[in-house]
């Protein structure tokens, strides 16, 4: 039985060159989640997202679509805007020499260019493909992207009852972690560590009771509540109505899904939490964690969400600490791949996706 699955070799977590190639394959050759459409409700609203050193403008266009552009002027390359979020008054103007673009990226004005030879149509903003699933904004840097629906597979149908499109932003916490992004995915994909690392969480759900599945483009499962627990909060109590549309079964569990590569989607009976992962270096990842609630709840005068936020912030910090310790240990010359238990089956499946995707970048198989 020496064919039992083992963890990946250290280079997948510690080699900067491999990291660079891997990011190309995972973040620039497919769909990634950049945030939520309700962050840009009106034409001209925008936010920036940084992906491996690239600044991307996500903006609501005049036609109501969400568009994505590289934050680079076509004149002399200047970054067009530097505020993390804001509003463009109808057009995007470069602060250096005033080249001006429409919200659809077309070049509208270029002062002092020779009108006899200069064609405005030659210099639109560099565009990325953008699409939306139930309020989640995805972008794709590939020149010939496959439809988002292919990557999402059966997820839209499966999560229809949660009506994610209706939910609205309430709170964001950003974390800066000294660990490879894949260790964060792996940590999210198993609860074998819950009894020791998360005593509070472990009182609410049964770490043995996960219902897991691994697909080519996503991975995850659900966990039912223990005893009287009704949601994930410090005491397991639910302080908000159930999301409308959930069945009895859906009210009694939490769904934890990773949509590769960077969306961790946690659907609770009464709220949605999402993590998006932003790799900054082979050993560093920025994590944006956000909580979303139903507008009917948010409108209530006594709306409160501290129970959910405090609970997950505590759990997050426990997780980030341990993945940082994993990063440090894996970088050791003494590290060798170790054995997975059957409770870590999703990790072995994720590792296979990692190996395959890196193989397309020329990485040799670990031959384990």
Positions touching a copy of itself (CB under 8 A) are: 1, 4, 7, 10, 53-55, 70-80, 82, 95-98, 110-114, 116-118, 123, 126, 192-193, 195-197, 322, 325-326, 328-336, 338-339, 341-343
| Residue closer to a copy of itself, measured from CB, 128 or 287 | 128
> Of all helices (H) and strands (E), which one includes residue 366?
none
Task: Tell me how far, at minimum, the Cβ of 329 lies from a copy of itself, in Å.
Answer: 4
| Residue closer to a copy of itself, measured from CB, 70 or 292 | 70
303-306: Cβ within 8 A, 24+ apart: 303/240, 304/239, 305/170, 305/171, 305/239, 305/240, 305/271
Distance CA 79, CA 96 (A): 9
| Residue closer to a copy of itself, measured from CB, 89 or 157 | 89
Task: Tell me how far, at minimum, the Cβ of 253 lies from a copy of itself, in Å.
Answer: 22
Task: Tell me how far, at minimum, the Cβ of 250 lies from a copy of itself, in Å.
Answer: 28
Task: Tell me how far, at minimum, the Cβ of 55 lies from a copy of itself, in Å.
Answer: 7
Strand 31-36 and strand 100-102: the pairing is unpaired
Strand 107-109 and strand 284-293: the pairing is unpaired
| Residue closer to a copy of itself, measured from CB, 74 or 239 | 74
| Residue closer to a copy of itself, measured from CB, 215 or 331 | 331
Task: Tell me how far, at minimum, the Cβ of 99 lies from a copy of itself, in Å.
Answer: 9
Q: What crossing angle do the helices spanning 181-188 and 345-359 adopt, rounded to 10°?
A: 150
Strand 263-267 and strand 284-293: the pairing is unpaired
- The values of phi and psi at residue 83, to 5°, are -85, 140
Ramachandran class of 325: left when φ > 0, alpha when ψ lies in -120 to 50, beta otherwise: alpha
Count CA atoms within 13 Å of residue 73 on its CB side: 20
| Residue closer to a copy of itself, measured from CB, 158 or 317 | 317
Task: Tell me how far, at minimum, the Cβ of 262 lies from a copy of itself, in Å.
Answer: 18
């Amino acid at each position: 039985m020496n064919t039992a699955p083992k963890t990946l070799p250290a280079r997948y977590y510690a080699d900067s060159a491999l990291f660079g190639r891997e990011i190309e394959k995972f973040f620039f050759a497919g769909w990634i989640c950049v945030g939520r459409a309700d962050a840009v409700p009106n034409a001209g609203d925008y936010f920036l997202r940084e992906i491996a050193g690239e600044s991307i403008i996500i903006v609501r266009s005049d036609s109501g679509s969400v568009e994505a552009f590289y934050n680079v002027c076509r004149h002399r390359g200047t970054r067009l805007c530097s505020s993390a979020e804001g509003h463009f008054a109808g057009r995007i103007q470069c602060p250096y020499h005033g080249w001006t673009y429409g919200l659809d990226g077309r070049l509208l004005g270029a002062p002092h260019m020779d009108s006899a030879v200069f064609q405005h149509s030659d210099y639109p903003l560099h565009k990325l493909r953008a699409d939306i699933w139930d309020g989640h904004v995805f972008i794709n840097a590939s020149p010939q992207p496959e439809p988002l629906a292919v990557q999402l597979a059966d997820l839209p149908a499966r999560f229809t009852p949660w009506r994610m499109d209706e939910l609205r932003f309430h709170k964001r916490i950003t974390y800066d972690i000294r660990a490879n992004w894949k260790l964060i995915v792996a940590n999210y994909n198993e609860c074998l560590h819950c009894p020791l690392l998360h005593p509070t969480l472990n009182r609410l759900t049964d770490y043995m009771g996960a219902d897991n599945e691994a697909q080519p483009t996503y991975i995850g499962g659900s966990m039912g509540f223990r005893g009287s627990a009704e949601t994930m909060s410090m005491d397991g109590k639910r302080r908000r109505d159930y999301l409308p549309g959930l069945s009895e079964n859906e009210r009694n569990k939490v769904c934890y899904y990773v949509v590769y590569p960077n969306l961790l989607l946690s659907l609770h009976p009464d709220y949605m939490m999402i993590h998006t992962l932003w790799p900054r270096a082979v050993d560093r990842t920025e994590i944006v964690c956000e909580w979303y609630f139903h507008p009917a709840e948010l409108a209530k005068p006594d709306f409160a969400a501290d129970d959910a936020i405090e609970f997950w912030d505590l759990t997050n910090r426990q997780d980030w600490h341990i993945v940082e310790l994993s990063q440090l240990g894996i970088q050791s010359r003494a590290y060798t791949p170790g054995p997975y238990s059957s409770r870590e089956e999703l990790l072995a499946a994720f590792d296979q996706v990692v190996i395959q995707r890196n193989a397309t970048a020329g990485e040799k198989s670990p031959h384990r």
